[in-house]
Amino acid sequence: MDDLIAALAEALGEANVLVSQQDQAPFLTDWLGKYRGAARAVLRPGSTAEVAAAMRICARHEVPVVPQGGNTSMSGGATPDMSGRAVVLSLIRLNSIRSIDIVGNTITVDAGIVLAKVQQAAQEVGRFFPLSLGAEGSCTIGGNLAANAGGVAVLRYGTMRELTLGLEVVLADGRIWDGLTALRKDNTGYALRDLFIGSEGTLGIITGAVLKLFARPHARASAFVAVQDAAAALALLSAIRDHCGDRLTAFEFMTGECLALILRHIGDARLPLAIMPPAAVLIELSDQDDEPGLRERLEAALADSIETGLVHDAAIAQDGTQARAFWRIREGVSEALVREGKAAKHDVSMPVSAMADFVAAADVAVRAVAPGVRPIVFGHLGDGNLHYNLLPAEAQDAAAFAALAPALTRIVHDEIGRRRGSISAEHGIGQLRVAEMPLRKAPLELELMHQLKHLLDPAGLLNPGKLLPGKLLPASTPN
Ligand code: FAD
Ligand code: 2HG
Ligand code: ZN
C-alpha cells in the first residue's frame, strides 16, 4: 500500500478506499458509455468531516480529485481521465435528510442523497420538491447542484439554482465553508453559493444543501398533443399560457423522428394518438384546484387550438396511469438514443422566440455536410432549451460519423451563436464541450473564470480537464 492509499484508508476506513479494478469499474465509465477513465482509488467518505480529511490528504499528495454523485452526467463531467493519477470521490454514502422545516418550507440534506428520496421526503410531510428529470432515481442533489440541473418543471419552478438557499462546501485544501443557511433574503456580500452551483466540481465539493419546498399540487392535468412543427408548438405555448397562466408546469417538445425512435426501442412506450404526428408536445398543468376543473381548463384551451388549426389531435390523460404513460414516452428518449447508437449530443438554449428558426436552419446546415444525418430534436421548449441530438445516417459507419461529429457540433453551435444562445442549457460543459469554451466565451469572461478557479483551487486539483480549457491564464494587469 503506498503512502496516499494508507493515509486515505486510515481516514475513511479501508472498505471505503476502492483500489481493485472490479470495485472501481462502475465509477469509471459514464451513463452514455462515451467516456472511460482510470483512478488510483475510488473514495467513499461517510461524512463532511471525512470529505474534508480526504481533501487534505489529496492536497498534500497533489492528487487530482473527481467528485461524483449518481454518475448520470451527460457531458462526461464525473469521469476521470485515462492517466490514472486522480481519485474519484463518490458522495453516495452522504445520503441523509438532515432536517425539514415545515414553517420555513425548507429541507436540509446531505449532497449524496438521491433526488427521488428528497421528492418523497417532501411528499411525506405534505410538501413538494419540484426538480424532476429522467435520472431522478439515481442522480444526487450534489450532482444536481454542481450541474445546475434543469429538467421538466423549470418553466414553473426554475433550475436547481433557484431552488437552493444554502450550501455546505469542502474546499480544495480541506477547509469547510458552512453556508448552510435557510435565508430567503441575505444581502451581505458576494453570493458564494451561486458560484459553487453550476461549477461542475471544479471549485469545491458540495456536501450539504438547504433546498426550498413548495405547496404540494393536488391536481394535475396532462395532454399529449400533435402539432406540425416547432413553430406551431411555440404558438401553442402562448395559447396555453393565455388560458392557463402559472398552472403551466411542463411543455415538452418531441419531433416525429424522436417519437419513432422511442417507440422502436422502448418496449412499454405507446403513442396515445391515432397516427404518428410530425411533432408532439407533452403538456402538464398543476394546481391546488380540483382535478376535473383543471382537466376542463386544459380541454378548453386545446379545443380552441384545434379550431384554429394549431393542434392536429390531442389525448388528455383521464387518470394518473394515463399521465404516467405519456411521461414514459418522454422519459424514454435518452435511453432510446443510447440503444440506437452514439449520437452527437447538443444541449442548447436560446431566446424562446428563436427556436423554430434555429431548428430549421440547423437541420439544413448539418444535412449539407452530412447527407442522411438524423436530427433527433426534443426538449424543454418553454425554457428555450432543446436537446439537438444527431444520429448517423442509416448504415453509416460509426467511426466515420464520430470523425464528423466535431464539425457538426461546430455548425450547431454557430447557429446558436448567431441567436445569442448558449452551448449548454442544463447538462454542463464537462469534458464533452470543454474544447468549445474558447470559441464561445468572451476572453474576459474566461479570464475571470480562470482567476476564480485559481483562487479556490490554486493547484488545479479539482476535476481537472472539465469545464475550463487549458492552462491558467496570467492575471490581467490593470492599465
Ligand atoms: P454526476 O453525474 O455524478 O456529476 C455531475 C457533475 O457534478 C460532475 O462534474 C461531477 O464532478 C460533479 N459533482 C457531483 N457531485 C458533486 C458534489 N457533491 N460536489 C461537487 N461536484 C459534484 N439533466 C438536466 O439538467 N435535465 C434533465 O432533464 C436531465 N435528464 C436526464 C435524463 C437521463 C436519463 C440522464 C442519464 C441524465 C439526465 N440529466 C438531466 C443529466 C444528469 O442527470 C443531471 O445533470 C444530474 O444533475 C447529475 O447528477 P449526478 O448526481 O448523477 O451527478
Ligand atoms: C432530457 O431532457 C435530458 O431528457 C436528456 O436532459 C437529454 O439525452 C439527452 O440529450
Ligand atoms: Zn433535458
List, in order, residues 6 or more apart from 211 with CB less than 8 Å away: 106, 107, 108, 109, 118, 129, 141, 163, 164, 165
- C-alpha span between 363 and 12 (Å, rounded): 52
- Say if strands 97-101 and 106-110 run parallel, antiparallel, or are unpaired: antiparallel
In a domain, 188, yes or no: yes
378 shares its domain with 413:
yes
In a shared domain, residues 194 and 255: no
For the chain, state the CA radius of gyration. Answer: 23
Is 19 inside any structural domain?
no
Beta strand 97-101 with 65-68: parallel, antiparallel or unpaired?
A: unpaired
Locate 455 and state its grid cell.
483562487
Per-residue pLDDT tens, the chain, 479 aa: give them: 799 999 999 999 999 999 999 999 999 999 999 999 999 999 999 999 999 999 999 999 999 999 999 999 999 999 999 999 999 999 999 999 999 999 999 999 999 999 999 999 999 999 999 999 999 999 999 999 999 999 999 999 999 999 999 999 999 999 999 999 999 999 999 999 999 999 999 999 999 999 999 999 999 999 999 999 999 999 999 999 999 999 999 999 999 999 999 999 999 999 999 999 999 999 999 998 789 999 999 999 999 999 999 999 999 999 999 999 999 999 999 999 999 999 999 999 999 999 999 999 999 999 999 999 999 999 999 999 999 999 999 988 999 999 999 999 999 999 999 999 999 999 999 999 999 999 999 999 999 999 999 999 999 999 999 999 875 444 344 43
Query: Could you tell me the distance, in angstroms and rounded to a whole number, from the CA of residue 379 to the centre of ligand 3?
Result: 6
Q: How many structural domains does the chain have?
A: 3
Alpha helices in 279-383 (DSSP H): 291-307, 320-331, 333-340, 355-369
Query: Ligand 2 centre from 372 Cα, in Å?
Result: 23
Q: Are 189 and 260 part of one and the same domain?
A: no
Q: Is 395 part of any domain? A: yes
Q: Is the CB of 349 under 6 A from ligand 1?
A: no
Residue 51 covered by a domain: no
210 and 228 housed in the same domain: no
Indicate the residue among 215, 230, 264 that finishes a domain: 215
Q: What is the 3-state secondary structure (H, E, C) of 414-464?
A: HHHHHCCCECECCCCCCCCCHHHHHHHCCHHHHHHHHHHHHHHCCCCCECC
The answer to whether residue 119 is domain-embedded is yes
pTM above 0.85, yes or no: yes
Residue 315's domain comprises 219-334
Residue 435 forms part of a structural domain: no
CB-based pocket (< 6 A), ligand 2: 74, 134, 333-334, 337, 345, 379, 387, 389
My answer on whether 249 and 273 are in the same domain is: yes
Residue 231 CA to ligand 1 centre (angstroms):
30
The verdict on residue 102 lying in a domain is yes
Cα–ligand 1 centroid distance for 73 (angstroms): 4
Domain shared by 109 and 160, yes or no: yes
The rounded Å distance from CA 454 to ligand 2 centre is 32
150 and 206 part of one domain: yes
Give the torsion through C-alpha atoms of 289, 293, 296, 297, to 10 deg. Answer: -40
Ligand 1 close to Cβ of residue 78 (< 6 A) = yes
Distance 332 CA to ligand 2 centre (A): 9
Query: Of the residues 139, 176, 327, which should be mutated to test ligand 1's pocket, given the most ligand atoms within 8 Å of the CB?
Result: 139
Residue 121, domain member (yes or no): yes
293 with 387, same domain? no
320 in the same domain as 400: no
Closest CA to 131 of 250, 269, 282: 250
Q: To test ligand 2's pocket by mutation, which of 31, 74, 254, 376 has the most ligand atoms within 8 angstroms of CB?
A: 74
Is residue 282 domain-shared with residue 313, that is, in the same domain? yes
Q: How far apart are CA 167 and CA 194, in angstroms?
A: 9
Give the position, in ligand 2's atom list, of the atom nearest the Cα of 331. Answer: 4
